[in-house]
Each structure stands twice: as C-alpha cells, then as structure tokens.
Amino acid sequence: MNYLETQMDYPDFLPLALGSIAAACGMSWLISRTEAKNKDHDFFLPEEQRFNGEKKLTAKDQIVVDMLSTHKDLCWVITDPDMKDNEIIFASPGFCRQTGYERDEIEGKNCRFLQGKDTDPKDVQKIRDAITKKEDTSVCILNYRKDGTSFYNQFFIMPMLDKCGKCLYYLGVQVEVNSKNPGQEPSNPGWVYALC
C-alpha cells in the first residue's frame, strides 16, 4: 500500500517525517563531509533559491523537495506537466553549475536539451514511459553540458502528487557518475529520499 492509498493521521505521519529528516541529515552530512576540505561555505540553499511552487504537494513530496534543498550543490529540476512540453520551471544552482547553463537558459525548456548524438534512445524512452505512467524511474543516461562535453547522469525522476493523486510536477535529480554501470541508483539523493 502506498502513501496515497492511506489516510495518514499524525501518529502514522510521525515515523515518515522522522525517517525523512534523518535521511536528509545523513545525506547532507555525507555530502558536506566530502566537500568540507574545499572551502568553508554554507551548504544550504538560501530561501530565495529554493523551489516554492504554487501547487500544494503531498507531505511526502514536500519533504523530498525540502531534503534536496539541504545542500546547494545537489543537481535537480522541477517540471510542470500542465505546460505544453512539460517544461522546467525550477533549476537548482547545482544543476546550473553541473550543466554549465544559466537558470534563464534552462527554465522554460524540456529536459531533452541535455541529450546529444550518443544519448541512447532506449534510455530516453524509459524516461518517457515513466512520465506517461506517472511512475518513478532511475536510468543512467549520457547527457551533454553547454560546452559540449558529455557525462554519465544517474538520473531519477518522480511524479509529485497532490492528495488526490493528480500529478502536479515532476522532479528530476541527476548525479554525475563515472560509467554506465548498473546498480548506481543509491548515488542519487533523490532516489534515496523518495524511499523514505
């Protein structure tokens, strides 16, 4: 039984919230620990750089977005399926840094602008199928930065729903990995957070 099939009251919601907070703190600590040697800086996204959508998400989906906002280098976007081409309406600062694009070059486009000549059509179809079925999926896909360099992207996408199960947004989280090997899903914090 999934979250949408239940009527959660406060006692049922508490373990979900505590588990999500613990996962966010653990992932944030792990990421910040690996980068602490670089320079001392604030790891959290400032309030003005966080996603603040107009549509009301379920508590679980809002927690996932809040957890992604705990670190400014995490790479993620939110798209709006009510728009003509499911365009990106929010790009995190980490997404801009990783891809080399400015926010105004990203928002208003479909995510396929990261695809290139060697992107496998089967990987693209897996993402399209998940969107059509309104399901989570994870795929390692070859993407391209603004400067034309390619990178393997362990990509995770999930529909973000309202309390009635209507898809309000899609969340896409990407992590650069070294190769197109199976089993790399745990490297993606979006995948991990959605498990909570």
Residue 64, pLDDT above cutoff 90: no
- Closest of 136, 194, 134 to residue 166, by C-alpha: 134
pLDDT of residue 3: 38
Q: Which structure tokens are listed for 139?
A: 């795929």
For 191, list phi and psi in degrees, rounded to 5.
Answer: -60, -45
Angle at 172 between CA 83 and CA 90, to 5 degrees: 55
Token pair 């927690």 is found at 63
pLDDT of residue 26: 55
Lowest mean pLDDT among 18-32, 62-76, 107-121: 18-32
Q: Which structure tokens are listed for 110?
A: 């479909």
Residue 194, pLDDT above cutoff 60: yes
pLDDT of residue 28: 53
pLDDT of residue 114: 96
pLDDT of residue 5: 42
- Closest of 193, 119, 171, 194 to residue 150, by C-alpha: 119
pLDDT of residue 68: 82
pLDDT tens by residue, 147-169: 999 999 999 999 998 888 899 99
Mean pLDDT value across the chain: 80
pLDDT of residue 182: 82
Residue 31, pLDDT above cutoff 60: no
157-173: string of b/e by CB count within 10 Å (b at 16+)? bbbbbeeeeebbbbbbb
Task: Name the more confident of 1 and 90.
Answer: 90
Residue 42, pLDDT above cutoff 70: no
**Measured on CA atoms in the order 161, 48, 66, 179, is the torsion positive or negative?**
positive
Residue 27, pLDDT above cutoff 80: no
Residue 57, pLDDT above cutoff 90: no
Which residues touch 80 (CB under 8 Å, ≥6 apart)?
A: 86, 87, 89, 168, 169
Task: Name the more confident of 67 and 78.
Answer: 78
By DSSP bridging, strand 75-79 and strand 137-144 are unpaired
Task: Name the more confident of 62 and 98.
Answer: 98
Angle separating helix axes 10-35 and 59-68, nearest 10 degrees? 10
